[in-house]
Structure 1
């Protein structure tokens, strides 16, 4: 049985990268693999959704213990307990990139491009934007944020009159909230999943029970493969009903709404939802075969991994310079504040049941543990704290950062000799 690691920064809420983590882990399980999910922040919220042979690790793993490593947010480097073993590791390193904008996705792309055997993107715009910066060495795939086959459905035709709306949003912009009040007055009921609504993972039953959906991102693919018309709009704006007029331009931007980045008022949204429903319903139902073929997650991943295997190169980590670069990226990750924000607080709650219940001596003990960890992180520090700013601006300058790395080691040796 092949061992697979799926690594993400978070696995504690219903956000995009976390849902991708779940679906990728369950995909590998369906292919007969033993899967371990590792995240710096995690909770038991996903336990009911994990497939057979999928577990969550509460400690960092060593990537060399696995046959396949699927890494998001650059955490491949953070899970390298024994760097020396990387030289002889023949496993497959897949780097997943879900945005070309957010720092958590962008900063590690040059590292992925150089060392990953396969790089996968969720949208054409993400792929194009990142590849322009640095051409990857591994196999490339745009998986279009595809939907698992359990969402693919050919249910009966939806009604002529819109009655039941499903809103899936963690942002719930004010104009949507007001538009829903207008729609309620006209006899349209709605259910809201997400922040300010019901906190749950969307499932095929939610899609099948709705006449239409208002959302962005991955929910759009869920809707289309389920034959449900979708009004694409959220905090970035959006084109409205997905039809032949905007399908491809919206897909390029991962149905984020950025293809038409302007806000609409509540009255216009309500009017568009009612007047455009039938046309959007017909378009979606008439093209369901196209959508189900285009957004078939299992088929896309099977083809992608087959190409990586045929390439004969699962990763490009070969020599000491490569090992130094992995070490450099690991040090960079330990410096970035967003990794460690509230991790300690979560640990406190897990161990003691709530911050309010902590006794002073327990707080003192935890602070001592934190100080020890900070000291451990300091072992990665380069010559000056400002290096991280420059590193994030130009991480692809590998030779430059390796020179700094060698200077760091020499400086450490002098300090240790004098202590």
Structure 2
């Protein structure tokens, strides 16, 4: 079955790709772009949601219909429905599926590293329709941890779109230009470039530390040899360009018919041979073995076209019958997993559960942390500061909430009192809600640079408000105002801004 047939027969109209970063020309981002580029021409709307994005990068791809930055504002993803969800790592998968409550008909849980902890498939494997691994070695490493998984375990293999196999030029006749494509160029490659240039061979370094560029067929065609690791290997071989596999891990050197099978099981990561070479040694190999590798370029191209064509891989992933009814991972059996995710994410250095708010540092405190706990449930809800102003706190369903705010004071503020004012409107069913101040007079002293204030209130009925201020001597300094409202989706959001 072709990809077009799989999309049509399964009624696929929307796809969500969840990943850690969509911000630079690197593996995860480019994989998301490749998938969108293959599906968009078939009438599929592709949304990308990531824990980090940059506008300059994310706005550069017409095939991606929507980009959502989960750290800045996860609101656009709350309770959304997609036909297919494809994840690339654990944290964004849990964020989208458990915290945002995304619904789907078909779930592809992906892991694109066998060594990175965040790429482990854990906890959601029983919810998946497909478990997708970037390499055969990654699948082998994780299989013992997934003994009961019923979903098929497929290999993505850093597949490349069909455009890489169109209008392929002949192999190069001589070694005149080399491209080093890397976001982490080791010093020995720079030394090799210097030695090669001394022999009349031009070397261009392309990557985030030098010249960031999107690697296209036209770019690869401009060079006689490519030096890189990972996702670039299939691209170079598809264009019949000799590929020298080496980067910050080391690497085996030129890819040939003798080592291609072993190297592609680890996605040409360079880890098969961690021996670090000198710059002079690398330059010597590039020049000495070039002609022999050129002679085998046609054979390598056939292997890549047969086994690493993206449309074929996606068709295999989507060939199984896709259920007609949407489902969700946000169920009672995943409550403990959600707790684990919330804990690990809250402890991360770049967690969105911690935000600095720009008050006058000389006079006013700064809100550093906020969380909420459902009173009638068995697990914790976290209210996430996502933007200012206004920033959004999200509660997935109407319920009582306890808001705890820890106020940390700047040096020089030795005595202060937190003042809480509240207003709760009458509920829809005639019942009135109210806010209970659990600590309306938090104080700070010279020995303690923070205090905590808690507010328990009923949300999900009608708009209500809570205002926090700090009494510094005779002055009242506004801190934060929370105004709650029911969102169109039925979830509850609290819109907050400076008081």
Secondary structure, aligned partner of 2:319: helix
Q: Which residue of 2 aligns with 1:371?
A: 369
Secondary structure, aligned partner of 1:94: strand
How has the CA–CA distance of structure 1 residues 315 and 167 changed in structure 2, closer, same or farther, with 3 Å as cutoff?
farther
- Per-residue CA deviations over 1:285-334 (Å, capped at 9, x if unaligned) read 23322211211011110121113x26999878595223x24533542453
Q: Which residue of 2 aligns with 1:77?
A: 94
- Tell whether the 8 Å contact from 1:244 to 1:283 is kept in structure 2 after alignment: yes
Asked if residue 125 in structure 1 is aligned to residue 142 in structure 2, the reply is no
Q: CA deviation at 1:340?
A: 2.2
Q: CA deviation at 1:359?
A: 7.8
Equivalent residue for 2:108, pick from 89, 94, 102: 94
Q: Which residue of 1 aligns with 2:126?
A: 114
Q: Which residue of 2 aligns with 1:352?
A: none
Q: CA deviation at 1:161?
A: 2.0
Equivalent residue for 2:203, pick from 174, 184, 190: 190
Pairing of 1:14-413 with structure 2 (within 5 A): 14-47=25-58, 49-52=60-63, 54-58=65-69, 59-60=73-74, 61-62=77-78, 64-74=80-90, 75-80=92-97, 89=103, 91-106=105-120, 109-135=121-147, 136-307=149-320, 309=321, 317=329, 320-322=332-334, 324-340=335-351, 360=360, 367-368=366-367, 370-372=368-370, 375-376=371-372
Secondary structure, aligned partner of 2:269: coil
Q: CA deviation at 1:111?
A: 1.8
Q: CA deviation at 1:15?
A: 2.1
Unaligned runs of 5+ in 1: 349-357, 384-411
- Tell whether the 8 Å contact from 2:171 to 2:297 is kept in structure 1 after alignment: no
- Tell whether the 8 Å contact from 2:246 to 2:270 is kept in structure 1 after alignment: yes
Q: Where does structure 1 differ by over 4 angstroms across 4 or more consecutive aligned residues? A: 80-83, 310-319, 341-345, 361-365, 376-383, 416-419
- Tell whether the 8 Å contact from 1:115 to 1:315 is kept in structure 2 after alignment: no
Q: Which structure shows the bigger proportion of residues in strand conformation?
A: 2
Larger Rg: 2
In 1: Cα distance, 2:107 partner to 2:205 partner = 38
TM-score normalised according to structure 1 size? 0.77
In 1: Cα distance, 2:364 partner to 2:294 partner = 60
TM-score normalised according to structure 2 size? 0.66
Kindly report the root-mean-square deviation, in angstroms, between the aligned alpha carbons of the 2 structures. Answer: 3.5
Unaligned runs of 5+ in 2: 1-11, 381-401, 403-434, 439-499
- Tell whether the 8 Å contact from 1:154 to 1:227 is kept in structure 2 after alignment: no
Secondary structure, aligned partner of 1:249: helix
Q: CA deviation at 1:188?
A: 0.5
Secondary structure, aligned partner of 1:28: helix
Greater relative CO (CA pairs within 8 A, separation 6+): 1
Secondary structure, aligned partner of 1:25: helix
Q: CA deviation at 1:216?
A: 0.3
In 2: Cα distance, 1:313 partner to 1:248 partner = 41
How has the CA–CA distance of structure 1 residues 252 and 68 changed in structure 2, closer, same or farther, with 3 Å as cutoff?
same
Tell me the matched-pair count: 366
How has the CA–CA distance of structure 1 residues 257 and 251 changed in structure 2, closer, same or farther, with 3 Å as cutoff?
same
- Tell whether the 8 Å contact from 2:257 to 2:300 is kept in structure 1 after alignment: no
Q: Which structure shows the bigger proportion of residues in helix conformation?
A: 1
Secondary structure, aligned partner of 2:122: helix
Q: CA deviation at 1:34?
A: 1.4
